[in-house]
Structure 1
Amino acid sequence: MGSSELSDINSIRAKVPSERANHSASLEVTFGGYSCKGEKAENQDAFALKVNQGQSLELKGHVAVIADGVSSANQAARASQMSVCHFIDEYLATPDTWSVHKSASKVIASLNNWLFSQQVVSDINGELQQWFSTFSAVVLKGNRCHLFHVGDCQVAKVNGDGYQVLTREHATAGGILNRALGAATHIEIDASTSALAIGDIIMLSCDGVYQFVKPRQIRELLKSTADLEQASKAITTLASKQGSLDNLTCLLIKIEQLPKEQFSELVFNRTQQVIPPALKVGVSLDHFEILDILEQTARSHVYLAKDNQAQRLVVLKMPSLNFSDDKEYLANFIKEGWLGEKLFHPSIMQIFPWRMRSRFLYHVCEYVDGQTLAAWLNENPKPSFAKVCAIAEQIVTCLRVFQRHDVVHSDIKLDNFMIDEHSRIKLIDFGSCDVGALVDEKNNQYNQPLGTISYSAPELFYGHRSNHQSELFSVAVVVYQLLTNQLPFGELSRIEQVPKQFNLWRYRPVTSYRKDLPTWLDMVLSKGLSADPSSRYQHYSEFIGDLNNRNKGNVLQQAKQPLIERDPVKFWQGVSALLMLVLLVQLFW
């Protein structure tokens, strides 16, 4: 909403049913808001609501913001308007793959830095500018309300259970504000989520409203009218009558319908396409001529094809007919194509935009001339340490691209990387990825890892969510396997084979397979493969630096550490064994 719409009297009309998105699975809301200067000379409040549709709704949600300029600041009104408009515009411009939390946090940090920087700028009278404002943002996405709050505005949820305050005032006991945007170089934001239910009303209000109207009165006013704009105006009017001398702002958002499925619109559109049957060499699919069958498994079919329009070689990947009724598998397949269209990097296979007019469901992928790392290792069973280090660096480069897009790959293994004749690595499969934007609504319940068990980090089996540190474990497994042609903890094909706790994972030294490798390498790999993530490398750069021995001092320092610090589990196991031996000696001597 532009600044011209954030005037002394600021209102937005309730959304009528005919304006709702046509897609039956969308998150639908009605809303109404009102703002006025009240008894003050200037309205220093601002608010706005951006209602999205289609994929923008599914990936970014509906966005509501309220801001209250700090009255003691000489640019209070401009600060609040800037905060509202900037947040909505920039939040919607963040990458589609980012989670709500990452997108909002980045934007708020940037906004705060800009507001704070204005303190060194003088106005025409030589007075330094003070752009201070309280700030509360609500992102309604899926079945969740995501909250980002600083200052003394309030966000509450009103329903049949009562009036639930979702934020807390950042003020002293005497009512003095102690946190606001623009007041410091670093701002601490309260971030939280709350479940949504049909009929919930999310209320955003400034302190001039909620401090003067009781929750019981608000509920009664909401029951008396279905027009949310009239209700918001009635609430602010009551606040004024009951003694408020401040600006008056209230925004009401009612949840009319919740989405049935995540990422539903794209999945729905693409599942209307037909899965092609197994194809033979020489046949055509749309304008693609099948040249070779690269892979046909129970899960998917992969073909080398010629694009007769672009006159280039491509790879066609399509799901197997065996999974035509498997909604989760098809959703992951479609997600892979959607993600592949958004990642542009020489180390990541490109998936070209899907053809809206095609009757068939498949991906058109970049052709990579090479072989998988698994095939390469079969031909090169004892690669040099320097070669493996170079491969590891390229794998990390791929994963850093994913990290910047708030994506966790979740299935790092040799089969998912290609290597060409120039030893360049390319990631070719990302169907198991966790995309930040698509996991906002997932709960924290334990889920079995999506990837291959032998490469999955131990914490994933104990209820932890995958992240970039668990990816680092998988990279360390790949490095170990390239060096030894063995897996560090053996082949794990079933969940039942997974050790039940961290101290039962037994690392076998890489030097027991290859005597030509440096002895310090086991310290690096054992740390990268630590079952307990708190003992593992925290960053890719640390692991790669030690692997290349660039951090030689760190490796030597680790080697000099006493065993109780380097490996406390082994230390106490040794102490226990020694005590048992002493006990046996005393019993039988």
Structure 2
Amino acid sequence: MSLKIRVGQSSQTGLRARNEDYCGVVTPPGEPLTSKGALLAVADGVSGNAGGREAAEMTVRSVLSDYYATPDTWEVHTALDKVLTAANRWLLAQAAANRDLAGMATTLSLLVLRGQRYYMAHIGDTRIYRLRNGELAQLTTDHVWDRPDMRHVLKRAVGLDQHLAVDYAEGAMQAGDVYALLTDGVWEPLGQKAIHHALGLYDNPQMVSDHLLRSALSAGSQDNVTALVVRVDALGADSLSDLLSAASQLAVPPKFKAGEHIDAFEVQELLHESRVSLLYRVRHQQSGQVCVLKTLHPALAEDHDSMQALLNEEWLARRVVSRYVPQVLPLSMEQRTALYYVMSWHVGATLQRRLDQGHHYSSSQTAGLGIQLMRGLGALHRLNILHRDIKPANLHLDESNHLRILDLGVALNTGMAHIPAMHNPGTPSFMAPELFEEPTASVATDLYAAGVTLYHLLTRRYPYGEIEPFQHPRFGEPVPPTRYRPDIPHWLENILLKAVAREPAARFETAEELLLALEQGELKPILPPQRTPLIARARLIKWQWIALLSTVVNVLLIYLLLVS
């Protein structure tokens, strides 16, 4: 089910010499409408300032185009905030570079309709109204001074200040909702009662917007007049939440044998079996393309959480377009009779399998793998995706020595708070120390796991020793990898020790920072990490310090008594 809306828009110069209003609408077809939604915008260039029309038009145009270029894994408000900040900087730069455009600024009201919710971004004195079940509601607040003689003086606008303060809001939509985005040239002369009457007067949004402009001009509007009206005829899928709901009708398939078929695929071989999932090499019967099919173990056929995790994994993987992650084939739910998804197949083996087969990695090979790993992790982190289980078993190296990050089954999209996150899903020996105290994953925990992975490739050991499941370890100082491999260069050792530092603040901040350190290598080596003093490592609490100080004082007093 897709979102169905009808839109009407009108804009006239009115009694002004120039129309400084601008409005725009994007209603993309297919998948973008589901993942990003429809975007509507109205802007009113600040009157009296040079470049008002240019500010309004360029802001709307840039937002309408840049919003759809943001990653699908970003929440709507996150994406809008990024593009609005960029638009504000652009206006300020134009005003600074061109004296004729000094002071260019604009108000802006944005409305995104996606799935079953609406999202707003607002700055200035344009307004957004909603008519629902015969009741009119003003959804925005004017950013003007409260004094009667300053009601037209803006406190906020795009291009007015280096710091852009935007009002964000969201809510649930209903079929039959009517939303109106109006400039002050329309809402001010009409008032609430006339706007309420106009929005319910016609079923056609275009007729409503035309009527609003005629009424505003008849009521004596002295400004440009612009109205953008949208009617919601049917709600759409609620992004990932509705995908999970729709896919819940699919059953977990039985275990397949070579030669059996499922939908358009022929099973060639069982690649991997765990207590949670099954991986098969399959061939598309029409195209002949060899792929990997992932599904749940039949024992989990009634496990709703595992089914949801598999769908979440597919949803995230489909949105990662990177050579460092296997690509998911675009199969709709209607093309499947069972619960599974299909991704690209690459000949090769995981790094763990190569270790098990006796392969030993040199320092240069490990650094090269680390560079590829950081590029892949950086691609995930830029999409707000935390992998949470980086280890050699989840890193695949093909015949061309090209690395790919596998298994987003426990990955977390930090922008999707409504999807439940599994606590401590990683492998204990690769988990950062803070995860044993507070199970909140971060970029720092992913980078820590990557550092342990590189350390393990070189030494086949772990910087703090092997950690068993359900063990609550105590972390001291990491063992330098040169203790096991004296041939490791010091520049690489320093990088690994920094990556696996016990305290998050002592590690690399981003994948790009660690990538740069690996690329520069011995040409620009980083300093070795400072060792934590013994007293700090002891982490003595207050009463222990008091007891220690008291003991020292008592010993000193006894010594003085004996001497005297």
For this structure pair, what is the TM-score category when the shorter chain's length is used for normalisation? 0.7 to 0.9
Q: 1:555 aligns with which of 519, 527, 549?
A: 527
Distance in 2, matches of 1:363 and 1:267, equals 13
Q: Give the direction of change, closer, same or farther, for the CA distance of 1:223–1:203 in structure 2 (3 Å limit).
A: closer
Size of the alignment, in residue pairs?
546
Establish whether residue 297 from structure 1 lines up as the match of residue 255 from structure 2: no
Question: What is the alpha-carbon distance in structure 2 between the residues aligned to residue 458 and residue 61 of structure 1?
Answer: 40
Q: 2:34 aligns with which of 58, 64, 82?
A: 58
Q: Could you tell me which residue of structure 1 aligns to residue 499 of structure 2?
A: 528
Specify the alignment match of 2:562 in structure 1.
none
Look up the match of 2:293: 316
Partner of 1:280: 257
**Could you say which residue in structure 2 is the equivalent of 1:537?**
508
- The counterpart of 1:70, out of the listed 46, 50, 57, is 46
Deviation at 1:59, TM superposition (A): 0.7
Pair 1:225–1:388, CA change in 2 (3 A)? same
Q: 1:173-212 alignment to 2 at 5 Å?
A: 174=150, 176-177=153-154, 180-181=157-158, 188=164, 190=166, 192-196=168-172, 198=174, 204-208=181-185
After superposition, the Cα gap between the structure-2 partners of 1:127 and 1:304, relative to the gap in structure 1 and judged at 3 Å, is closer
What is the match of residue 343 of structure 2?
A: 365
* Percent identity between the two aligned chains: 25
Deviates more, 1:90-99 or 1:234-243: 234-243
Equivalent of residue 478 in structure 1, options 453, 458, 463: 453
CA apart distance, 1:395: 0.9
Residues 533-578 of structure 1: per-residue CA shift (max 9 Å, x gap): 444321223224445755856415x54xx968xx995486499867
Q: Quote the Cα distance in structure 2 between the aligned partners of 1:456 and 1:56.
A: 36
Secondary structure of residue in 2 paired with 1:56: helix
What is the distance in 2 between the residues matched to 1:509 and 1:277? 46
CA deviation digits over 1:162-207, x for unaligned, max 9?
Answer: 96764562779855446644678x6735263434365987654334
Query: CA RMSD, aligned part only?
Result: 5.0
Give the whole-Å Cα distance in 2 for the aligned partners of 1:101 and 1:464: 26
Residue matched to 2:373: 395
Shift of 1:66: 1.1
Aligned: 1:169 with 2:139: no
Write the mapping of 1:372-521 to structure 2, written as runs, cut at 5 A: 372-380=350-358, 383-420=361-398, 423-435=401-413, 439-440=415-416, 442-443=417-418, 448=423, 451-452=426-427, 455-457=430-432, 466-482=441-457, 483-486=459-462, 488=464, 490-491=466-467, 493-494=469-470, 506-511=476-481, 514=484, 516=486
Contact residue 132 and residue 177 of structure 2 kept, 8 A: yes
2-structure distance, mates of 1:366, 1:31: 40
Matched, 1:84 2:54: no
Q: Distance in 2 between matches of 1:153 and 1:506?
A: 59
Please give the secondary structure, in 2, of the residue aligned with 1:582: helix
The yes-or-no answer on 1:584 pairing with 2:555 is no
Q: Distance in 2 between matches of 1:317 and 1:583?
A: 64
The one-letter code sitting in structure 2 at the alignment partner of 1:134 is T
How far apart, CA to CA, are the structure 1 residues paired with 2:267 and 2:58?
55
Which secondary structure does the structure 2 equivalent of 1:555 belong to? Answer: coil
State the shift of 1:135 in Å: 2.0
Q: Which residue of 1 aligns with 2:19?
A: 43
Q: 1:448-502, CA deviations, whole angstroms, 9 ceiling, x for partnerless residues?
A: 35555654556667778655444223212322333342364753635xx568xxx
Structure 2, unpaired ranges of 5+: 559-564
Per-residue CA deviations over 1:376-432 (Å, capped at 9, x if unaligned) read 233448644443322221211212333455543333222211234664422232233
Decide whether aligned partners of structure 1 residues 329 and 131 sit closer, same or farther in structure 2, where only a CA change above 3 A counts. Answer: farther
Moved more, 82-91 or 386-395: 82-91
Conserved 8 A contact 1:158-1:219: no
Counterpart amino acid of residue 509 in structure 1 = V
3-state SS of paired residue (2:271): strand
TM-score by length of 2: 0.75
Residues 293, 342 of structure 2: 8 Å contact kept: yes
1:347 — aligned with what?
A: 324
Distance 1:98 1:568, change over 3 A: farther
- Deviation (angstroms), 1:60: 0.6
Other structure's SS at 1:263 match? helix
| 1:30/1:465 CA distance change after superposition, 3 Å | farther
CA distance in 2, matches of 1:584, 1:529: 36
The 1:538/1:220 distance shift into structure 2, 3 A limit, reads: same
Alpha-carbon spacing, 1:587–1:203, altered in 2? closer, same or farther (3 Å): farther
Match of 1:133 among 106, 121, 132: 106
CA displacement at 1:48 relative to structure 2:
3.8
Aligned-pair distance for 1:366?
A: 3.1
C-alpha separation in 1, matches of 2:421 and 2:119: 22
Query: Contact 2:517–2:525 (CA<8 Å) still a contact in 1?
Result: no
Q: Give the match for residue 4 of structure 1.
A: none
Inter-CA distance 551–209: structure 2 relative to 1 (3 Å threshold): farther
Are the structure 2 counterparts of residues 228 and 284 from structure 1 closer, same or farther at C-alpha, using a change threshold of 3 Å? closer
Structure 1 unaligned blocks of 5 or more: 1-22
Query: Residue 14 of structure 2 contacts residue 223 of structure 2 at CA under 8 Å; is this kept in 1?
Result: yes
Asked if the contact 2:491/2:521 (under 8 Å) is kept, the reply is no
Judge conservation of contact 1:35–1:248 (CA < 8 Å) in 2.
yes
1:146 has 2:119 as partner: yes
Q: 1:520 to 1:153 in 2, by over 3 A?
A: same
Q: Secondary structure at the match of 2:34?
A: helix
Kept in 1, the 8 Å contact 2:45–2:106? The answer is yes
Check conservation: 1:118, 1:130, Cα contact below 8 A: no
* Structure 1 residues 45 and 273: alpha-carbon distance in aligned structure 2, compared to 1, 3 A threshold: same
Contact 2:143 2:155 in 1 (8 A): no
> Equivalent residue of 2:527, what SS?
helix
